[in-house]
């Protein structure tokens, strides 16, 4: 899952970025509203973490412009503790939730997970496909209740494919979904991840098909004879 952090406080931006990266998210960090809007036009993100007080514009403008352009990604705003009006205004403009500064990292992580979950599974923390279960809170996968060992990258690929099950996902989409700009990822690397995941989820009855020239399709086999 890919997150864009917009925060002009360097110490805070770095701390948030590092902490979310350690939790396995692909994170890009920018410091102005203008760069944020450029990034969001060029790339697909799964969530936006947005400071309201930015040097070149305010966060509300970013929220409004995104919603006007039809972008539906979840937006989590960062606001000051006493700024009730800011929070209300941010939510009214189309933000989904807020975290109050000074930020408690565990709370920030929980809100990020909740928003991503709501988008992916309608709020359910675990996803079950046949004998495969993904625990999106603990970021663990199980095949028939047996925990399987996935690296952070493998988890991200599997989570993305499961979140898009029944749809063809291209390698470029996967690269965009799991890698930030500063960490380049090749199509070969994606192939290697998928190959390893296939081995690890064997027995789950969930199949990741290669669709030649297009990408991958995760599908549950039908029970029809």
Q: Which of 11, 92, 101 is nearest to 51 (CA)?
A: 101
- The three-point CA angle 62-66-69 to 5° equals 140
Please identify, using beta-carbon distances, which residue of 28 and 31 lies nearer to Ca ion: 31
**Least distance in angstroms from the C-beta of 114 to Ca ion:** 24
**Residue 26, CA distances (Å) to 1, 13, 80, 91, 170 in order:** 6, 14, 26, 25, 18
**Least distance in angstroms from the C-beta of 22 to Ca ion:** 23
**Least distance in angstroms from the C-beta of 199 to Ca ion:** 46
Please identify, using beta-carbon distances, which residue of 101 and 140 lies nearer to Ca ion: 101
Please identify, using beta-carbon distances, which residue of 63 and 116 lies nearer to Ca ion: 63
Write the DSSP symbol of residue 129: E
Please identify, using beta-carbon distances, which residue of 6 and 132 lies nearer to Ca ion: 6
Which residue in the shown chain puts its C-beta closest to Ca ion? 53
**Least distance in angstroms from the C-beta of 93 to Ca ion:** 17
Q: Which residues bind Ca ion (CB under 5 A)?
A: 8, 51, 53
C-alpha to C-alpha distance for 120 and 160, rounded to whole angstroms: 9
């Amino acid at each position: 899952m890919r997150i864009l952090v917009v925060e002009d406080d360097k110490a805070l931006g770095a701390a948030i970025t590092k902490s979310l990266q350690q939790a396995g998210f692909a994170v890009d960090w920018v410091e102005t509203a203008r760069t944020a809007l450029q990034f969001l036009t060029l790339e697909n993100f799964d969530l936006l973490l947005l400071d309201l007080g930015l040097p070149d514009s305010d966060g509300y403008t970013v929220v409004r412009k995104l919603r006007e352009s039809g972008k539906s990604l979840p937006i989590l705003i960062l606001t000051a503790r006493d700024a009730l009006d800011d929070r209300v205004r941010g939510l009214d403009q189309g933000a989904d939730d807020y975290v109050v500064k000074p930020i408690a990292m565990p709370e920030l992580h929980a809100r990020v997970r909740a928003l991503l979950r709501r988008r992916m599974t309608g709020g359910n923390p675990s996803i079950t496909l046949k004998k495969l279960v993904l625990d999106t809170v603990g970021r663990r996968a199980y095949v028939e209740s047996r925990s399987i060992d996935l690296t952070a990258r493998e988890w991200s690929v599997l989570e993305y494919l499961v979140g898009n099950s029944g749809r063809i996902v291209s390698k470029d989409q996967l690269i965009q979904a799991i890698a930030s700009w500063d960490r380049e990822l090749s199509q070969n690397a994606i192939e290697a991840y998928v190959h390893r995941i296939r081995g690890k989820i064997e027995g789950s009855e969930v199949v990741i098909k290669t669709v030649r020239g297009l990408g991958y399709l995760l599908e549950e086999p039908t029970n029809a004879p």
